[in-house]
Amino acid sequence: MSEPRMSDPRMNTFRRRLPGVVYGGDYNPEQWPKEVWQEDVRLMRAAGVRLVSLGIFSWAALEPADGRFDFSWLDEIMDLLWANGIHVNLATPNAAPPPWLATDFPEILSVDRQGVRHGIGSRGHFCPSSPVYRDRSRRIAIKLAERYGKHPGLAMWHIGNEYHSDCFCDRCDDRFRAWLRQRYGTLDELNRRWGTAFWSQRYSDWSQVHLPQPVRGWGNPSRELDFSRFTSDNLLELVTEERDLLHAITPDVPATTNFFGCRLTDSHRWARELDVVAFDCYPDPGKPHSMAVAAFQYDMMRSLGGGRPWMLMEQAAGAVSQWKTNQVKQPGRMRLGSYQAVAHGSDAVMFFQWRASPQGQEKFHSAMLPHGGEKTRTWQEVKALGNELRLLDEVATARTGARVAIVWDWQNWWAVEGCAHPDNTFDYRDTVARHHRALWNSHVAVDVVTLDDDLSPFRVLVVPNQYLMTPQQSAAVRKFVEDGGHLVVSYFSGIVDEDDRIVEGGYPGALREIIGAHVQEFSPLPAEAVVPIRAAADKAALDGFSATASGWQDDLEMETARPLAVYGEGHLAGKAAVIEHELGRGRAVYIGTRLDDEALQALVRHVLDLAGVRPVHAAPRGVEVTERRTRTSVYLFLLNHRQDKATVTLDRSGTDLITGRHIEAGETLVLDAADAAVVRSPAASSPSTEPPSGDS
């Protein structure tokens, strides 16, 4: 994993102020008359709220006109919260510039790819390159830091909110050109890296180089890739500028911003600039694998911080408001999802938002305190959870150790979903989530890495659709295998370099020697087509293996590899669909098609067995199992995502922190549907061999 910039001293200060598992949510008191505030803090105390995010969308209330500030209401609510033992995660409110800023300085508004300037009435409508926007954002951040930096209730800075703004205005065009000059140095190098000899695109002067604009047909994929890199860097600059200002004035207060799975921002790079990783997660109850996807996202957040605990900054108490059909979380499922975040390393359970809004675009988004008030089921569950989570305070700061890693790479995401591919329906998120789900169902701990991270701690590395691969990454994968690692890599990987240029030498150029085979040609399948797959005749270890292939087929030619499974019919009948290759002290398994879920899991389990990676704990399908560890204790999380009861026979003795029940090894634990258990055992007596990833 990458080594983040994260400041342990600042987070240690935060934990001294707020030990244990932090509970709370976004609070927007400016939407309510002051007489409601007293009721809010009374109910917050009843629910065990310890931290609220304040001021995220308050710019217009804090600065009603250019340079005219009104902090009186914020003074009052800061004091009221602190008087009731509630700390504040105070935001710099730059996510929604106020109407006066857009009216007085219309150039701060973002412009879309078609050249249309956005209006006010939503959020994220700013141009990241606007000098006026940057100046006013810094100014109000400084005002907040100077005014509240020594307030006893201030626990953390929340910079902006869910950064997701791209822009195609002239200022961004100028900054893009400057970014390219710094990256490539000369126009000749840019022409070489972008492949501008194709379709007569060669630039003869820097003034000809522009942001991607609407073109006839497809645009240059290398330019699109660099625009994605530029956008991420441009937005990150906003964050680091404010972070530096806040740290200069309040050096002991940690700062973060909240990730939300955005395609525009390379969170792997961003995380190195933050004191702690924070994440907003909204699993869709209407989708069958939503909690498995949440587990993948949570593993990613833990990994982005180098294994350190992270913060679930937002989730929904019930329904959200952004999907076509916004299903409510059924009884117990909000509690279960909250425990899932803690099980994967979060030391905070927070929500958007505290009190449901009476107006605006998100008035039907659920809240900790719904429109119906204290008599609602949601409020009763929120209140019970906040008080119950205190039983888990000792889990805070515990780590998760993993010997399995899966690769997620933002730059690859930008590239693999680019244009003019053999299949233009790639869904990178879905592909990686499917591979992670196979590991999740196998009950093993998983870190989420890039190929630029240190791979040596892992025994198994899963690499889904890593289309873009640099020479350094290819060398790292080869070393991983040669040193005894077990690699699982899927089709359309190792095809291009960092400039989206084909790696020569036959597909997959960056992996050919590692997998011991080459691909003669790609053969995408029609949307509804499936092809049967069976184990190769000499592969006793995969006896009984059967699968279906869909979406894609590689026409694989063996070099030094052996087939594990072959196609059962079609023009590739009898040819390899899955192969394995021994290299050095390790092995690589290459999957040349999209396997069905059950077959993918069986193959992954086969590789885990070969690598000697054991499950954290045995459990029936649908029961999620994780561990967090300190030097003295192991915390086993058992989460029942099923619709019925599940029984787990414990392999250790321990105490369930939630119920207080002591359980001996060999005893059974019955979990109701949507129930959870957290069993603490002494570290020395736990059968698990996985150490915590770092000191606790």
Q: Which residues are part of the catalytic machinery?
A: 162, 314
The conformational region for residue 660 under phi > 0 = left, psi -120 to 50 = alpha, else beta, is: left
DSSP string, 145-199: HHHHTT-TTEEEEEESSS------SHHHHHHHHHHHHHHHSSHHHHHHHHTTTGG
Q: Which of 483, 486, 484, 505 has the alpha carbon at shortest distance from 496? A: 505
Q: Which of 198, 159, 204 has the alpha carbon at shortest distance from 313? A: 159
CB atoms near residue 383 (< 10 Å) = 18
Q: Is there a contact between 322 and 663 (Cβ–Cβ < 8 Å)?
A: no
Q: Is there a contact between 516 and 583 (Cβ–Cβ < 8 Å)?
A: yes
Q: Which of 27, 93, 26, 23 has the alpha carbon at shortest distance from 58? A: 93
Indicate if the alpha-carbon torsion angle 623, 628, 631, 633 is positive or negative. negative
The full 3-state SS of 399-417, as one line of letters, equals: ECCCCEEEECCHHHHHHHC
**Distance between CA atoms of 31 and 58, rounded to whole angstroms?**
9
**Distance between CA atoms of 548 and 164, rounded to whole angstroms?**
38
Q: First-to-last CA distance in the chain? A: 17
What is the CB-side half-sphere exposure of residue 47 using CA atoms within 13 A? 30
Q: Which of 473, 512, 472, 464 has the alpha carbon at shortest distance from 492? A: 464
DSSP H or E run through 222? helix 221-249
* Residues with Cβ within 8 Å of residue 107, at least 6 apart in sequence: 127, 130, 132, 169, 171
**Distance between CA atoms of 209 and 687, rounded to whole angstroms?**
60
Amino acid identity of residue 58, one-letter, is S
Q: Which two tokens stand for residue 73?
A: 């209401």
